[in-house]
Amino acid sequence: MDLNPPIKLSVINTYINATLIGDPNYELKGLNEIHMVRNGDLTFVDHPKYYDKALRSLASVILIDREVEPPQGKHLLISKDPFSEYNILTKQFRPFNKSSQPLSLSAEIGKDTIIQPGCFIGSNVVIGERCIIHSNVSIYDHCIIGNDCVIHANTVIGSDAFYFKKDASGYIKMHSCGRVIIHDRVEIGASCSIDKGVSGDTVIGEGTKLDNQVHIGHDTVVGRNCLFAAQVGVAGVTTIEDDVILWGRLA
């Protein structure tokens, strides 16, 4: 998730009150999980198995649950509970906002696009030109749909990632703050679900076609001109290259 404009670490730390090791004036550009992280981002780590991966990643700021020597050029935020602190940050900078109407005033709808009755189009959604969005489709906040796309009835674009951490009290949900990006000439069948990225983007490539009842998990990237038959399920954080055909479940 991008922070626009960038935010100083000293300001970031006012929300979580961690121990800062580094430059308080460093300007953070984004928040991302370890598998999606970019230079200028903050990521979190709370398990020894992933300490080295996080510290060696592109992340410029690491929210971590132990004090270690920071790699050159990196900044640390030391916290007892990085998972919960990361949730605090994502909720701060991309909170859930209640909608007051089916079609948000902040949504951008392209020329000659048809929105059928019963649809929900969330805040800051962008839909391109000459699309058909059939009845009862829900497109959650911040999702982007290209030109010449068709989305059939009862499909959900941008539902939350299925991401939970178990503790003594049960399961703690990771707040999803990513997006779904659907490129041009994609057709999505009825009753499909495409989860948003946890912090990054779930992407459907140009020209890809999904049959009915297909599920695409969070942070998955599907290439161009793919063909997925009914009841295909793709796990989160999966990369599928161009021109792939997947046959679904057969009775």
Q: Is 177 exposed, middle or buried (0-12, 13-18, 19+ CB in 10 A)?
A: buried
Of 49, 52, 86, 85, nearest to 71 (Cα)? Answer: 52
Give the Cβ contact number of residue 247 at 10 Å: 12
User: Active-site residue 218, yes or no?
Assistant: yes
What is the token pair recorded at 219? 């942070």
Backbone angles phi, psi at 93, to 5 degrees: -95, -15
Spot the catalytic one: 134, 142, 215, 218: 218
Q: Compute the distance between CA of residue 155 and CA of residue 198 in angstroms, rounded to an integer.
A: 20
Give me 224's structure tokens. Answer: 């161009």
Catalytic annotation, residues: 218
